[in-house]
Amino acid sequence: MENEVLKISNFSAGFGQCAILRNINFSVFQNRVTAIMGPSGCGKTTMIRCINRMHELSPAAYYSGEILLHGQNIFSMDPIIVRRRIGMVFQRPNPFPTMSIYDNVISGFILNGMKLKKEQKDQIVVNSLKKVGLWEEVKDGIYRRGTFLSGGQQQRLCIARALAMDPDVILLDEPTSSLDPKSTLMIEQLLEELKQTTTIVIVTHNTAQAARIADYVAFLYLGELIEFGPAKKIFTAPENKKTEEYLTGKFS
Amino acid sequence: MEKNQQQQKICYVNTGPGQKPGVSKFFKKDFLFKFILFFSGFLVFLLVLSIFVSLILNSVPSLKEFGLKFFVSKTWDPVFEQFGALPFITGTLLTSFLAILITIPFSLAISIYLAEFTKQGFYPGFLKNSIDLLAGVPSVVYGFFGIFVIVPIIRYLQIKLHIEPYGVGIFTASIILSIMIIPFSSSLGREIIEMVPAEIKEAAYSLGSTRFEVIKYVILPYARSGITAGILLALGRAIGETMAVTMVIGNSNMMPKSIFSPSNTMASVIANEFTEAVTSIHLSSLIEIGVVLFLVTTMISITGKIIIKKFAVHQ
């Protein structure tokens, strides 16, 4: 039996007059990679931004329905707490340019004004960097600015930053779309390892990527959830004709 | 051979702005246009240079007479023709830095509010327009405001504090100055804060920071160099400001004893004494003060530019 971490039910969202998501229902299971895929403009990014309540930071944003995190509605929780428990990695690597690599990793604690002991900090930094395979590459220059790293390294630094907070779920919004194939592969392998300890939701418009890493797939089209299920089933025997057309490249 | 020529021709057309003149009438027009632009720019350079040279030439008598002593001597006595600029240099530095100190919290608050909190609506628009208006008020009007509003308040304060109640003086001038430079520092600060990439702000929000934490740990460090430069530019303005300061500073040529003493800044002593300077040495001493003022403001604006370049955050 799969352990349900997130349950999204009857969820709709949008900006002002413009509805982007309509009546979405699916679940995210523990230690699994759930991929949200679909063509551009289908609402993937809005969906993932709703899960850690980043969506409502935009002006005129609205939402309705429920998202349950371990059975608790996130919209009745403090958004600050929600965002600490649900980490996020963005489309383009965005380490803090004013901070060193070290400070970037523990930036979640710095930003929240949490005071940690030096040993605690060191431990978190080393562990997080080791988890994302960046430790060997940066250990000699850990007090250098994070922006001197390559794009792929920066993105792994951003994942380490999210991991440092020990979140229940990590959301990744097309994390490899601005990276080269080699860095992409590295991040995909990394996600495989990370799902042992955490739960991952990834947005991708790349069906091949979804096929490589996802355990569950949610297919969105024009703001509606067309199909949700185990990745094997979706990729081999999709129930919906639209899903099949998308997977076979009839539209994108 | 023919092919070669053709290639050459293509190259020729493509060279564009670097084109030699006299080839076709189009290029001639282009050249003329470029020349006019260049000349207008060059005129500005000539103007700056000639202002500087004329100041230097006119201050030669004083330069010869007093030399470097001019900058360290505390006596300014037109009757005995002894001229030293130290009281005015001190007065200028005190008023300007005090004004900057007073203005920083306000302009920082205004720029953060306008750039990060509310961008639309009645109050932000009203605030923006008021600040623009503040920049447009003639400085003599600020002087009146100083005389009729600030001076009585300061005098009341001085009586309470048992200090000689002049009302006018360095502190009063600083307050007026700090109001006058709010538009400069706050508008530059606002622009710089608006330039902080949305991505890194989002990153901070996604880690669960509050707005205050985002401003403190992400936005301000990122915008630091720009804000500093804005303050320096405002400082340059404060140092050169003449009319309003002249009206409230108290016109005293003694070394200031405290921030409440009447004093004179470099700009205000020129404005106060220029019309009554009858001896040539008096006049040329005033002009030498003008040279110092010119150099100081130039240095400040150069420092501001260096700071922007050197400490700009590399993405």
> pLDDT tens digits for B165-186?
888 999 999 999 999 999 988 8
Chain B residues whose CB is inside 8 A of the A99 CB are 221
Mean pLDDT of B195-214: 91
Mean of the per-residue pLDDT values of chain A:
90
- Between B208, B218, B314, which is nearest A96 by CB? B218
Q: What is the pLDDT of residue B3?
A: 47
Q: What is the pLDDT of residue B2?
A: 46
- Between A81, A83, A98, which is nearest B206 by CB? A83
Mean pLDDT of A147-173: 91
Q: Contact at 8 Å (CB) between B99 and B242?
A: no
| Neighbouring-strand partners of residue A21 | A13
- Residue B217's closest CA among A87, A96, A83, A128? A96
Q: Provide the phi-psi class of A10: left if phi over 0, else alpha when psi is between -120 and 50, else beta.
A: left
Between chains, do B218 and A111 touch, taking CB under 8 Å as contact?
A: yes
Three-state DSSP state, A24: strand
CA angle A36, A39, A42 (to 5 degrees): 75
Sorted by sequence, the CB contacts under 8 Å of residue B212 that are 6+ apart come out as: none
Spatial separation of the C-alpha atoms in residues A167 and A79, rounded to whole Å = 14
Mean pLDDT of A170-175: 93
- Domain(s) labelled CATH 1.10.3720.10 in chain B stretch across 68-311
Residues B60-98 have pLDDT tens digits of 999 998 988 898 899 998 888 889 999 999 999 999 999
pLDDT band at A249 (very low <50, low <70, confident <90, very high): confident
- Residue B108's closest CA among B34, B178, B159, B59? B178
Q: What is the pLDDT of residue A205?
A: 85
For residue A111, give how far its alpha carbon lies from the nearest alpha carbon of chain B (Å).
Answer: 6
Between chains, do B199 and A165 touch, taking CB under 8 Å as contact?
A: no
Mean of the per-residue pLDDT values of chain B:
87
Three-state DSSP state, A28: strand
In a domain, A66, yes or no: yes
Q: Would you give the DSSP letter of residue B11?
A: H
In a domain, A139, yes or no: yes
Between chains, do A107 and B200 touch, taking CB under 8 Å as contact?
A: no
In a domain, A252, yes or no: no
Chain A residues whose CB is inside 8 A of the B210 CB are 80
Phi, psi (deg, nearest 5) at residue A9: -135, 135
Place of tokens 């207008």: B40
Mean pLDDT of B105-133: 88
Mean pLDDT of B211-216: 91
| Neighbouring-strand partners of residue A219 | A37, A227
pLDDT band at B22 (very low <50, low <70, confident <90, very high): low
Between chains, do B314 and A147 touch, taking CB under 8 Å as contact?
A: yes
Q: What is the pLDDT of residue B140?
A: 94
Tokens representing B70? Answer: 């001019």
Q: Contact at 8 Å (CB) between B132 and B209?
A: no
In B, what residues contact A, Cβ < 8 A?
Answer: 197, 199-200, 202-210, 213-214, 217-218, 221-222, 313-315
Domain B68-311 listed as CATH 1.10.3720.10: yes
Contact pairs from chain A to chain B, CB under 8 Å: 74
Q: What is the pLDDT of residue B124?
A: 86
Structural domain boundaries, residue A120: 4-247
Between chains, do A92 and B314 touch, taking CB under 8 Å as contact?
A: no
Q: What is the pLDDT of residue A102?
A: 93
Between chains, do A97 and B207 touch, taking CB under 8 Å as contact?
A: no
Interface test mutation site (partner B, options A111, A149, A158, A173, max chain B beta carbons within 10 A)? A111
Whether B9 shows a pLDDT value over 70: the answer reads no
Residues B281-290 have pLDDT tens digits of 999 999 999 9
Between chains, do A90 and B203 touch, taking CB under 8 Å as contact?
A: yes
Mean pLDDT of A9-38: 91
Chain A residues whose CB is inside 8 A of the B313 CB are 97-98
Whether B42 shows a pLDDT value over 50: the answer reads yes
Between chains, do A94 and B313 touch, taking CB under 8 Å as contact?
A: no
Whether A82 shows a pLDDT value over 80: the answer reads yes
Q: What is the pLDDT of residue A1?
A: 60
Between chains, do B203 and A92 touch, taking CB under 8 Å as contact?
A: no
- Residue B265's closest CA among B193, B172, B190, B180? B172
Spatial separation of the C-alpha atoms in residues B307 and B131, rounded to whole Å = 25
pLDDT band at A240 (very low <50, low <70, confident <90, very high): confident
Sorted by sequence, the CB contacts under 8 Å of residue A158 that are 6+ apart come out as: A89, A90, A93, A94, A95, B203
pLDDT band at B13 (very low <50, low <70, confident <90, very high): very low
Between chains, do B205 and A87 touch, taking CB under 8 Å as contact?
A: no
Q: Over the range B254-288, which residues count as b (16 or more CB within 10 Å of their CB) and which as e?
A: ebbeeebbbbbbbbbbbbbbeeebeeebbbbbbbb
As to burial, measured by CB atoms within 10 angstroms (0-12 exposed, 13-18 middle, 19+ buried), residue B289 is: buried
How many domains, chain A? 1
Tokens representing B89? Answer: 């240099």
Whether A27 shows a pLDDT value over 80: the answer reads yes
Mean pLDDT of B88-116: 92
Mean pLDDT of B200-223: 91
For residue B181, give how far its alpha carbon lies from the nearest alpha carbon of chain A (Å).
Answer: 29
- Between A57, A83, A145, which is nearest B207 by CB? A83
Whether B120 shows a pLDDT value over 80: the answer reads no
Q: What is the pLDDT of residue A164?
A: 92
**Read out DSSP for B163-224?**
S-----SHHHHHHHHHHHHHHHHHHHHHHHHHTS-HHHHHHHHHTT--HHHHIIIIIHHHHH
Whether B1 shows a pLDDT value over 60: the answer reads no
- Between B200, B208, B213, which is nearest A84 by CB? B208
Whether A244 shows a pLDDT value over 80: the answer reads yes
Q: How far is CA A144 from CA A98, A134, B123, B129, in A?
A: 10, 14, 42, 43
For residue B112, give how far its alpha carbon lies from the nearest alpha carbon of chain A (Å).
Answer: 17
Q: What angle do helix axes A151-164 and B198-206 make, rounded to 10 degrees?
A: 30
Q: Contact at 8 Å (CB) between B85 and B70?
A: yes
Whether the CB of A16 is below 8 Å from some CB of chain B: the reply is no
Three-state DSSP state, A216: strand
CB interface of A with B, residues 67-126, below 8 Å: 80-84, 87-88, 90, 92, 94-99, 107-108, 110-113
CATH of the domain at A45: 3.40.50.300
Q: What is the pLDDT of residue B313?
A: 61
**Shortest CA distance from A108: residue in chain B:** B207
For residue A239, give how far its alpha carbon lies from the nearest alpha carbon of chain B (Å).
Answer: 35
- pTM listed for this prediction: 0.79
Question: In chain A, pLDDT over 90 holds for what percent of residues?
Answer: 54
pLDDT band at B228 (very low <50, low <70, confident <90, very high): confident
CB interface of A with B, residues 49-68, below 8 Å: 52, 54, 57
Chain B residues whose CB is inside 8 A of the A84 CB are 207-208
Whether B39 shows a pLDDT value over 80: the answer reads yes
- Between B199, B209, B315, which is nearest A111 by CB? B209
Q: Contact at 8 Å (CB) between B241 and B266?
A: no
Looking at per-residue confidence, does B14 or A222 come out higher?
Answer: A222
Whether B43 shows a pLDDT value over 90: the answer reads yes
